[in-house]
Every structure is written in C-alpha cells, then in structure tokens.
Amino acid sequence: MAWRGIFKIFSTIASGKNNLPEEKMDFEEETGDRVLNDEVELGDEEGEEVLALPLPHLPFFPGFHRPVQVKDPKLLAALQESYARHAPYVGAFLVKDEPGTDPSLVSGSKAEKNIYDLKGKELLNRLYEVGIHAKILGIRGDRVVLVALGRIRIMEMVDKEPLTVKVGHLKDKPYNKDDDVIKATSFEVKSTLSDVLNTRSYLKRTCTKCIDNSEFPRLADLGAVISGAKNLQCQQVLEELDVYKRLKLTLELLKKSMEISKIPELVLETDSKTTLSAAKFRERLEGNRDQIPLHVLQVINEELSKLQQFGASSIEFNETHNYLDWLTALPWGIYSDENFDVFWAKKILDEDNYGLADVKERILEFIAVGKHRGTTQGRILCFSGPPGVGKMSIGRSIARALNRKFYSISVGGLTNIAEIKGHFRINVSSTPGKMVQCLKTVGTANPLVLIDGVDKLGRQHARDLTSAVLDLLDPEQNAKFVDNYFFFPIDLSKVLFVCTADVVDNIPKDFLYRMELISIAGYVTDEKMHIARDYLEKSTREACGIKPEEVEVTDAALLCLIEKYCHEAGVQNLQKHIEKIYHKIALQLGRQGVSYEPAIADKPGEALVRCAGELSKKDVTDFKTIQESEAIGTIEKVVVDISNLADFVGDPVFNAERIYDQTPVGVAMGLAWTAMGGSTLYIKATQIEQGEGKGALTLPGQLGDVMKGSAQLAHIVARSMLFKKEPDNRYFANSKLYLHVPLRATPMDEPSAGCTMITSLLSLAMKKLVKKDLAITGEFTLLGKILPIGWVKEKTIAARRNGVKTIIFPSANKRDFDELATNVKEGLDVHFVDDYNQIFDIAFGDDQETGK
C-alpha cells in the first residue's frame, strides 16, 4: 500500500510533540474517559494481553512508525523481554490531562514525570481506552521503535506493574466507497492537505503521492497527523470508527492548521530555540570564517537555512543542529606553532623518559630533519616493543616537544569501520569517526595523533578497517580524507601520526613500508631501579597524598620487586606493584591514631587536630586549636624493606628464569625473543631408547615447522661434529633421543636456537657439562657456518637479567652489539663466532667437567 511509503517521513513527529507553533484551537476539550457507543465492531482477535505503553504527547495512528522514550525501567525491561521472545507487540495509549490542570501551563517534562509516577489502576484511569496495537521494530537504550498496526480498546487490567491489559481489536464501520458525500469530503481533505504541504517543502515531495493513493480511512489518519493538532483532537480522530465522521474531524483540523501555516516564515524565525541555535553557529564562524574552505562554508550556509525551516521539536531539527554543531566546532585553519628546537626536545625527552638513548637520538634526528624541511608531515614514526616500555609516553613527549596537542586512538579492539570513517547521517545518533572527534577535542588542525596497536589490525582479518586506517596515515591520501558523516573531504595532511605496536611481524604490510620503525627493547635492572625511584614511586606517592617523610621504600625492596615480581621487559607491572604498596601504606598511616586537617582559626599557623580514636560529638566540639608543633601524637614512618615486602605485595611471583646454577649433561642455555621481550630458555636432550641402529630424534608436537627443520639439522650437524671429535663414539647411531624446547621459544620471527640445540645434543653424547653461565644464540648451515639472528638488545638484556656471564653471538651481529648502551653490555664476556667449531671450544673447553 502506498501508505507504507511515508513511514520515515513522519518520523518528524517522533518526539511526540507538535512540530508547529502552538495555537489555541476552538475545539471543545473533554476530560475523563471517552465511552464508545454500542455499535463498535471488534476484530476477530479478542482478549489479547499486551503491555500498556503510555504516550505523554500525541496518539499513534495505524501505518506510522515512531520511536518512543520509555523512562520506566520495569516497563522497558518487559518490552526488551517481549522483543527477545519474538512476541514484540504492545498497546500504545495516550495519557489524559491531569484533572483540574491546564495542559498549556504544564511543561512536557513535568507531565512525563507525573505519568511515570503512576502505577497500576491509577495509571489505567489516566489512559484513554482507545489506543494502538503496535509492533516493536527495535530497542536502543531507552528508545523503543514502534510501527502502528491497528486500533484497539482496553477491556480490563491484567497486571499492575508493569501495566498489562486485555484489549479488543477495533474495525472501521462499513461504508460505501461510492457515496457522493464521502467522496466530496475526501476530495476536500486532499485539497486542504495539498495546501498545507505547500508550506512544508520537506514533506511535500513524498506525501503528495501517498495522499492520492490512500483509502478514505487512511487519508483521515494522515490528515490528522499532518495537521499537528492537540492531543485531544487527534485522540477524537483515533477513536472515531465512522469513516465519514473521521474525515470531517480531520478536515476541521486541517483548516485550522492551514490558518496557522499562512502566517509567514517569521513565525518560525521567532522560535527561540531555532534562532538562538542559528546565532550560536554564526558566532562560531566569525573568528575564522576566512580560514574555512569554500565547500565547507557552502554546506554550513545550506544547513543553517534548513535549520530555520524546521520546528524546534522535530527530528530534522535535531539532526541538522547536531550536524552544524560538528561543522562549526572543528578547528578549520587553526594550527599550533610548531617548535623544532632540538635542545628543548632533548630536555623534554629526558624529563619524561629515563634511558632509551638510541630512541631519543632517532627522535632528535626526526625533529632536526623537520626543522630543515619546515614540516614533519609525510613521515610516520612507529614505536615497537613489549607492553610497558613507554611507547605512548614517548609519543606524549614528542607532542610536548613539538608544541602539538596530543590525542591517542586505540585500534586494537575496533571491528567497525564506522569508528574510523564515521557513521552515515541517517539518524540523530549518527556521529563522525574518531579522527574528526580528535580534531574537535584538541581544538587544532595539526595535533600529534598516536595510533595505538596497529599490529592488532593484522589479526582481525578486517580488510575494510585496515584500509580505513591506511586512509588516515597515508600522506598521499589524508589530504582529502572523507568522513561518512560529512561526506566531503577534510584535510588531515597537517596531522603528525605516530604508531605503536607490540610485534612488528603482525603489522599489515601496507603499513610497514610507510613507517619509520623505532624499536624499544625494554629495560635492564638498573634502568628499572632508576625509573621506579625517580618516576613511578614519586608519582604514586603524590597521587596517594603521602608525604616523603612518612614512608621509606628501600633499594633492596625495589630490587627484590623488580627481580621476583616484575620480570617483564617494561615497567607497567612494576608501576602496579608500587601502587599496591602505597595503597597499603596509606591504610597503615590512616590506622595510626592521628591525622591532620587544615586550620579553621583566626590566627595563622593554628590547626585543628582530630584524633582517630572514639570521639563523642561533645569531644569534637570541645577541641581547641593548637599549634601543629604541639599536636598530640606523631605519625610513625612506614619502612618497606625486603623483610616485609611480602606483606605489601604477597609472595614472589617469579623465581629466576635460571633453573640451574650449572646446567647438567644434555642441557644448554639459549636466548629467545617473545612479545614480552627477551628471555632465557633451556633446551634439554635426553635418551629415551638405546639399541643397535636405533638412532633417531623425537621433537615436541607443538613445535613449528621452521623450528622442527632447525632441530633435525642440529641433529645431523651434532652427529658430524661428534664423529670428528670422538670417532669411536656411536651414541647418536644407537640412541633414540627426545629434544625438549620450551613453548615460549617458538613464537619467534626467525630461528635462533639451532646452535643451542647442537650443544645440548653433544653434551648428552659426550657426557660433558656445558660451560657455566654460558648462553648461546645463533643459527647454522649444514656445514656448521653460523648465521646472524635478530633482537640482539632484547636477548642481551635477558642475559644480564638472569646473571649470564658469557654470551655467544654470530660475528654478523657484532655491529648490533656494539651499538648497545654501555650499561647494557657491562659485565658480559661476549664471543662472536663464524663456525660451530668456535662454539664447541668455548662450551666444551679442556677445563670442562665430565657429567656423571
């Protein structure tokens, strides 16, 4: 039916309020229940039980859809349950005016409040008996979207809360479609409707066809809706089942509406909300109108014209108002002055971050290049490293050094492309994407935006989302970035983008070649000590309001905390433990009997002392002000040492990664890299069966294909090496071996445990111990040549953390090791090798013991 085509258009009455200027009508208003005559015809379905939904403003008519706000939590819960049970039907009934009150003097919000205070029989008495049988199309928050199906009448109450009633379905009285009087009346209704629509261009195009094709009952309902009449007059149309009488009622309402519509557009302009809104938006434009692009100004002017055509209570008004609010709030042409002073930048970086000398040097180079170019645009920095190493903190420091506003967007949990590209402007709740929200929040068009977790995008297999983020980052595209909410290009070329990632391998390839990668490996123990003492402890103490003289956390306690509780590469977990310590310290201080409050006295320096013991009201009243130096009682300093650390943070979480002080036969220590940073691992070889010709190697089932290949090759090289060193030793030929590799070693970007595997197998075959405190990392060829590996810094830090004295690296990695900071390399005996024979000599020297 053509009537169905106008559902969306009449969402203009969705708020339930009149969208025309209020004008007193000459209709005689009635109060109390409206009694239907005995000639009412009921539908075939009688006695249906439905939830009763009160409508505070206008009645509902068949064929329309409408969102209704439900403020009663119990009723809303019942509606949600019905919708979930696929029984989404409800009865919608207009609420009568409160007896003895003038509706024109009662505000809508107050009236709604009174309605939701009513329950059971009291609410039933306030509802008109005739209402609408409606279907729930959807529920979002406290708004329920309904479509009206037909007229119903309340027969009796079934349940009080939420109000449930039994209803009967009503039918229109039979009528003759060829009756001349009815046809003439309907023609006049159509003519008057057309005149009314001529004053409302936003409805005319869609409604004209519906008017021509509507049947007489629907035509009467349509006219009542468009008339914008008062509650009672619309309710009279709803209750009237005689089609001819309904048409006459609608005709009267339309003629009254036409008289109102003839008043020029000046009436709309006098609407205070519309006028004030337009004035507010124009005022926002005054300061930087010259900086706004012409295509944006054109859109703003068009929307301002539309705003003045809509009634302040219509949905179109709210949609246009929100759109203009975003358009005029964005910082068009507003930029912060960029600072390229490298000395200032170094000062900021040192203040905010300890250590990381190589990272800071790269950042200073980045700023220096920007100084010579005059801009930092076109380059994207990406900081990679384990969680808690300070990637976001460095991003904040760069923004502070460059005098740019800072904003972070986490893309790790995003699944909807609209979060980046914005929602299409199809309803009031539509909003722009996160980038436009960023510009509005920071108030400048050239902030530093940190995209956090770009490596998470690769895991979600959401190609559209990846492409949307790429549109933001790519300097060739972001000058004309299109947000779906605006649907015109926005220039983001002045925005400086910085990204963070935990694992470089997970970053989408389209991103990688556009980025300048800067790796942050993590911190060694002495660096963590400095960070804990100078940054974390200080900020946590101040956040808890504790004075320095009230607490002492010893160096031994911090060292124990780092080594036995917070073993990760970063300091995020360390900060949580320090916060836990200070929370317990605050509780201890609070239990110590004396606390201080600011003075309330006439003389300076006086203070009130409040004892934390049991005090009566009289005791508190009789307290006298005294000098702070005369305060009763003193606060005892809380000392956190290694002896009582467990009382604050519990028992140690980690024992050292080193399981053995001296590795036994068949065990060799290697170095690995995981997403949490570097770590040591023990590769263990053991004999599971022996017999002539039974030589074989068994590997863990979860080991990856690359690692399995490396292990099989290690077995071959070990047999070859054993034959050279001990020709008579047939251990490998007659022994079935099992090689155990810890699971944490497997998620690596490339194999680096091959040399450790060979050493473990040879140790077992020769019954010799591997050199004490030795860690080996490196891969090899079939001829025993050593290949380079990655993550040198992370593995070196892991070795130092676990008390390793000697490290074997491939010769090709000497340059990587030489670039490390002195404090990272300190105390390590490092050997760089090209051939496994060199590793053999170091691991199994003449002074090595034979295992038993």
What whole-number distance in Å separates Cα of residue 485 and Cα of residue 325? 12
Other beta carbons less than 10 A from residue 849's beta carbon: 12
Query: For residue 41, what is the enclosing H or E element?
Result: strand 41-55
Calpha distance 159→78 (Å, rounded): 12
Rounded CA-CA distance 322/328 in Å is 10
Q: Using CB atoms within 10 Å of the CB of residue 582, give its burial: 0 to 12 exposed, 13 to 18 middle, 19+ buried.
A: buried
Q: Rounded CA gap, 604 and 599, in Å? A: 8
Cα(171)–Cα(168) distance, integer angstroms: 10
For residues 634 and 649, give the distance between their C-alpha atoms in angstroms, rounded to a whole number: 26
Give how far the C-alpha of residue 187 lies from the chain's centroid of Cα atoms, to the nearest Å: 56
CB 353 within 8 A of CB 360: yes
Catalytic residue of the set 710, 752, 760, 763: 752
Q: How far apart are CA 126 and CA 154, in angstroms?
A: 12
The amino acid occupying position 670 is G
The answer to whether 97 and 231 have CB atoms below 8 angstroms apart is yes
Q: How many CB atoms lie under 10 A from the CB of residue 615? A: 13
Report the candidate in 553, 518, 556 with the shortest Cα–Cα distance to residue 536.
553
Contact present, 413 and 454 (Cβ < 8 Å) = no
- Cis-peptide, bond into residue 162, ω within 30° of zero: yes
Do the beta carbons of residue 187 and residue 247 sit within 8 Å? no
Contact call for residues 12 and 200 (beta carbons, < 8 A): no
Question: Looking at this protein, which amino acid is placed at residue 194?
Answer: S
> For residues 137 and 146, what is the distance between their CA atoms, to the nearest angstrom?
6
CA distance 780 to 835: 8
* C-alpha torsion 217→220→222→228, nearest 10: -150
Examine the residue annotation and report whether 480 is marked as an active-site residue of this protein.
no
Strand, coil or helix: 89: strand
The active-site residue, picked from 230, 391, 528, 795, is 795
Decide: helix, strand or coil at residue 796: helix
First to last CA, the chain: 94
Contact 86, 17 (CB under 8 A): no
| Rounded distance between C-alpha atoms, residue 686 and residue 840, angstroms | 19
Burial of 32 (0-12, 13-18, 19+ CB in 10 A): exposed
Cα 382 from Cα 455, distance rounded (Å): 11
Active site residue 201: no
Which residues, including other chains, have CB under 8 Å from residue 790's CB and lie 6 or more apart? Answer: 673, 749, 750, 752
Active site residues: 752, 795
